[in-house]
Amino acid sequence: MNRVLFVCLGNICRSPSAEGIFRKIVQAKGFEDAFEIDSAGTGDWHIGHTPDQRAQQAASRRDVDLSALRARQLSIEDIIYHDLILVMDRRNRADVFSLAQPEHEHKIRYLLEYSEQYDGLEIPDPYYGGTHGFDLVLDMIEDSCKRLLNSIIE
């Protein structure tokens, strides 16, 4: 079993989008029985909320339904439980590191590290931007998630 956790700040934009997109890619390749896929936010402002409407709309244009997801906050247990913790930006990484014990630090990676199409490490926070920001974020997530699955199954 591969336990994969996507982490962002609010768990209403980037990480639920990554959860939904990665799940779709995993299902399309027939690997769903080999994965547990989840997401969480480092912040607590949006606990219990559905993904941002703009994220849901951008995802639905790619046939990904995020409506059943609810935001939750990252816990120390999440870091112990999951095999791979994929963060969106430097702030997320610092926040996850501050919760993680040294023996779990190797699990923490930038999601965008897996992308071939996009350079850099950060998937920008689209919360205060426009719709275009969400489409770009989903492009970055989708490319990264395809390579992520390849890297896990290789």
Residue 8 designated active-site: yes
Is residue 19 part of the contact set for ligand 4NP (CB under 6 A)?
no
Q: Shortest distance, CB of residue 36 to ligand 4NP, whole angstroms?
A: 21
**Residue among 12 and 100 whose Cβ is closer to ligand 4NP:** 12
What's the order of all strands across the beta sheet hosting 35-41? Answer: 35-41, 2-8, 84-87, 108-110
| Rounded Cα gap, residues 142 and 154, in angstroms | 18
> What x/- string results for residues 24 through 63 when contact with ligand 4NP is judged by CB under 6 A?
-----------------x---x------------------
Q: Shortest distance, CB of residue 49 to ligand 4NP, whole angstroms?
A: 9
CB atoms within 10 A of CB 120: 11
Binding residue for ligand 4NP, selected from 4, 5, 12, 79, defined by CB under 6 A: 12
Residue range at the interface with ligand 4NP (CB under 6 A); choices 3-11, 26-34, 58-66, 146-154: 3-11
Residue 145 designated active-site: no
The string of DSSP letters for 90-152 reads: HHHHHHHHHHS-GGGGGGEEEGGGG-SS--SS-----TTS-HHHHHHHHHHHHHHHHHHHHHH
Count how many Cα atoms sit within 13 Å of the Cα of residue 55 in the half-sphere of its side chain: 27
Interface residue list for ligand 4NP (CB under 6 A): 8-14, 41, 45, 125, 127
